[in-house]
Structure 1
């Protein structure tokens, strides 16, 4: 990734102070061919961002040249008048006042926040939120503290030329943190046209992709002119610096993964998984109705909305049957009931959390087909074998450690055509992204169990059949959408 720092004057920032290219905004404006064929990330540190100033035009033209820039013209306009940003003040002031105790009970008249980092750790909550609202390298916040409640008088830019030596050192440290990369390859030779963010949780027990697999993808993507960088849930404010987002944490609409997907969509970035796919796939009630409406075969199903439906489920499906919480993943919230008493007890307990449950006919098999579908086309095929002495592919033991079944891999050519066709039909009902379709193959036909918006994709597992073509196609999916946008 190429970073370019724009200054108002040459003496405002010594080139030796940063590894990034430093030029004046005058030179940037006067030489539009300077970075032709590249896609630099631009940090605009102009003296002024006033309308029609050089600082203003630098960000405006950066956008037209396809360069990512901070701050954007929109941020400049937002901070030009208090009335344009006052809608953000209630949330910001609430976060600010939550810092009071850690700050010793009082606030300074002014505080400087650099790239979402405050003067000390005590400011973290407020500083990150401020940067989330207004992505600017250096902000100055004027504070009026009554002793009980601190209010924000003004939010403005803090030019390099007005910084003290101490603040300038803190600013440069913050810029180093902001521009740092974790998967930098010192031997990289192909200039990156794009940079893709990959949202990961290094501590997740069952991540959809292992870090080693994402490094493998990064090596393949690099050959296609793409740099892949990991980000975590703390990096929402930095998301706009990237060209695309691949979410590799278990998704749910109730946590940060959905916020990242929404933000990426708002920024016009191609994203897997997109918010609509997350909404559609994470709820099994919706999935069942959608598949049925589109004539995709699913197991016989009964919706349970209250105790009156317990007997209907028992009569319709018989025992054993499978009971599911609508929003569940990795076999959690999915239980087999062998008797009416078990059904009644479990359903009554789960309905304290969810107004609707799903009961489905139990279809025993030794494996589930998983067909990966990307952009409406099959991507990979695999058998997930059931966990040892268990009826699911993941057995969540009382000890807390999950037991997973093995796998058996296939090429797409080896996979029965009707399995692939059914999976593709199911995935196309959801959208155009990446999906993992789980199917059961029985003597009575194929049944779609669910469509996952966040399917496992690991090197040496799901890609075994189609090899690196899986990762090439994944990269190309993003590139096609970026190039359609002219980015």
Structure 2
């Protein structure tokens, strides 16, 4: 079990007794650590963090340099030092605030969060979400209630207020806003607050950082991010179970985590994202935090950034001579733009929002009237839209690539009576059939195009969609976090598919000396 240390500015400040925890001063941590032979160490930094180069900041920074898991991580302290950035992020979680029980005062409403916990029932969800976003032992939060007329413009002296439109669609509505969020040192708690903090600390260390792992000793800890509420997850339950068994064979203790476990990433050595990714989404924040904290993460945030935007893909494909359908980037639904598109394309014309997934946000215009209507509809959601020639095929190739090597190959057939693989009807989502083949039976042109396009993105796990007409192939897109479902992508090589993925995680950890 990893050794846990609580680091404080001055040992005289700590008068509490906790079973199993070692309390040390920052000076001791600075001069006597790391301890030789002590492989896994976790640090809870309770030092003063109110300044950029404070002891608390250096405590977290040194912990990361020593490969110790630390709370809070240095990047969180850096984020909190920029209140404008902090408040924009904090505004995203205000939707969970139960406003009816809060007292409106001129000074606002202040409260403290201890490891994501608060004694105020109406603020429990908000406290947990803020801790997920800013994982610090102690956070001091101040809320302000602003009438609609003031909400869009009011700024307190020396404090930035998150914009109303980050919280609510209407800038004229009355609303609570986050006025400030700060990390607080243990020494700043008074006699009444300290016992509440210690109780939260005990619960946190017992239920989270001291949670028992597998009875069998494992070399590494892996988190697999899933979301049971997702309608079209990239892996089904049977595939996830096979991943878990493969990971265990490679020396991993596996835990399935969800969106609520953001603050726990420091517990793990590796993160495997098995939830559909997006940029303005917790999946990207998980990937970014995991990368910063030194985890092996698949897929990495750079791959997510590149794959989740088809404008980037199209530009990169063009620059690198990857074969693609005839494509134009559109920024206007004006008549002049329609004239230009009609001079380039024949109907039907395919329109795509850049961050579409599973065929959502992809439309087919059969004539000018439909083109104008669909284009304006999509431009209301994105400043740029892709217009693309329509290529009829009975199926799309999907070539899975891992670290620039072929992993699997499938033919995904179009949904019955539809022009796409997925048909999003009013009551249900339909899809076509599939056929899985050995990668050595894939036409060379298809395989070459898949590998060439994957190299543009990186060395992660990708699914490349390709259309083939005769001897010509066209790369449609590269997907990070591709589907890995039992009986589909693994139909040819079976459990070996999951073993290869987990072997890659192990290889990367080995190369880091972990």
TM-score, normalised to structure 1, is 0.78
After TM superposition, list the pairs within 5 Å mapping 1:322-333 onto structure 2: 322-333=350-361
Unaligned 5+ segments in structure 2 are 50-55, 148-155, 157-178
Work out the CA distance in 2 between the residues paired with 1:305 and 1:30.
Answer: 56
Residues 372 and 379 in structure 1, CA contact (< 8 A), matched pair in contact too: yes
What is the TM-score with the length of structure 2 in the denominator? Answer: 0.74
Distance, in Å, in 2 between the alignment partners of 1:455 and 1:333 is: 18
Q: Could you give the per-residue CA deviations for residues 76-117 of structure 1, whole angstroms, max 9, x where no partner exists?
A: 9x69xxxx9664499579879978754555899996633222
SS in 2 for 1:239: helix
Displacement, 1:228? 2.6
Equivalent position of 2:349 in the other structure: 321
Give me the CA root mean square deviation: 4.3
- 1:224-243 map, 5 Å: 224-243=250-269
* CA pair 153-140 structure 1, distance change in 2 beyond 3 A: closer
* Deviation at residue 459 of structure 1 after TM alignment: 2.8
1:458 aligns with 2:485: yes
The residue number in structure 1 matching 2:176 is none
Aligned CA distance change for structure 1 residues 35 and 213 (closer, same or farther; 3 Å): farther
Would the alpha carbon gap of residues 396 and 223 (structure 1) be closer, same or farther in structure 2, given more than 3 Å must change?
same
1:392 aligns with 2:420: yes
Aligned positions of 1:340-419 closer than 5 A:
340-399=368-427, 401-419=428-446
Distance in structure 1 (CA, Å) of the matches to 2:139 and 2:347? 66
Aligned mates of 2:373, 2:426 — CA distance in 1: 19
SS in 2 for 1:222: helix
Deviation at 1:468, TM superposition (A): 2.6
Residue 115 of structure 2 corresponds to residue 115 of structure 1: yes
Q: Does the Cα contact within 8 Å between 1:75 and 1:136 map onto a contact in 2?
A: no
Q: How does 1:161-172 map to 2 (within 5 A)?
A: 168-172=198-202
Q: Give the superposition deviation at 1:439.
A: 0.7
Other-structure match for 1:12: 17
Whole-angstrom CA distance in 1 between matches of 2:183 and 2:355 = 43
Query: Residue in 2 aligned with 1:155?
Result: 184
The CA distance in 2 between the partners of 1:10 and 1:210, in whole Å, is 50
> How far did residue 428 of structure 1 move?
0.8
Report if the CA contact (8 A) 1:221-1:228 is conserved.
yes
Deviation at 1:442, TM superposition (A): 1.5
Give how far 1:421 is off.
1.5
Q: 1:35 to 1:216 in 2, by over 3 A?
A: farther
C-alpha separation in 2, matches of 1:447 and 1:145: 54
8 Å CA contact 1:46–1:159 kept in 2: the answer is: no
Of 442, 460, 471, the residue aligned with 1:433 is 460
- Structure 1: runs of 5+ lacking an equivalent: 16-21, 50-54
Q: Following TM superposition, by how much is the alpha carbon of 1:384 offset from its aligned partner in structure 2, in angstroms?
A: 0.9
- Corresponding position: 1:173 with 2:199: no
Describe the SS at the equivalent of 1:178. Answer: helix
1:343 is displaced (CA, Å) by: 2.2
| Distance (Å, rounded) in 2 between the aligned partners of 1:453 and 1:469 | 20
Aligned position for 1:256: 282
CA contact (8 A) 1:321 1:360 kept: yes
Structure 1 match to 2:171:
none
- Residue 208 of structure 1 contacts residue 457 of structure 1 at CA under 8 Å; is this kept in 2? yes
Separation in structure 2 between the aligned mates of residue 329 and residue 353 of structure 1, nearest angstrom: 15
Q: Deviations over 1:15-34 (max 9, x none)?
A: 5xxxxxx5566999699466
1:246 alignment partner, one of 272, 278, 283: 272
In the alignment, the residues of structure 1 paired with residue 346 and residue 183 of structure 2 have an alpha-carbon distance, to the nearest angstrom, of 66
CA contact (8 A) 1:373 1:424 kept: yes
Cα–Cα, structure 1 residues 64 and 164, in superposed 2: closer, same or farther, change >3 Å? closer
* Deviation of the 1:275 alpha carbon: 2.6
Where does residue 474 of structure 1 map in the other structure?
Answer: 501
Contact kept? 1:88, 1:133, Cα under 8 Å: no
Query: Once the 2 structures are TM-superposed, how far is the Cα of residue 453 of structure 1 from its aligned partner?
Result: 1.8
Contact 1:92 1:130 in 2 (8 A): no
Equivalent position of 1:19 in the other structure: none
Distance in 2 (alpha carbons) for counterparts of 1:108 and 1:343:
50
1:284 aligned residue (310, 321, 325): 310
Distance 1:120 1:231 in 2: 26
1:378–1:13 Cα change, 3 Å: same
1:308 aligns to 2:313 (yes or no): no
What is the match of residue 194 of structure 1?
Answer: 220
> Could you report, residue by residue, the CA deviation over 1:174-223 in whole angstroms, capped at 9, with x for unpaired residues?
33443486xx875x52x222222222221010011224422321221112
Question: What residue is the counterpart of 1:18 in the other structure?
Answer: none
SS in 2 for 1:12: coil
- Distance (whole Å) between structure 2 residues aligned to residue 144 and residue 302 of structure 1: 46
Q: Kindly indicate whether residue 234 of structure 2 is the aligned counterpart of residue 208 of structure 1.
A: yes
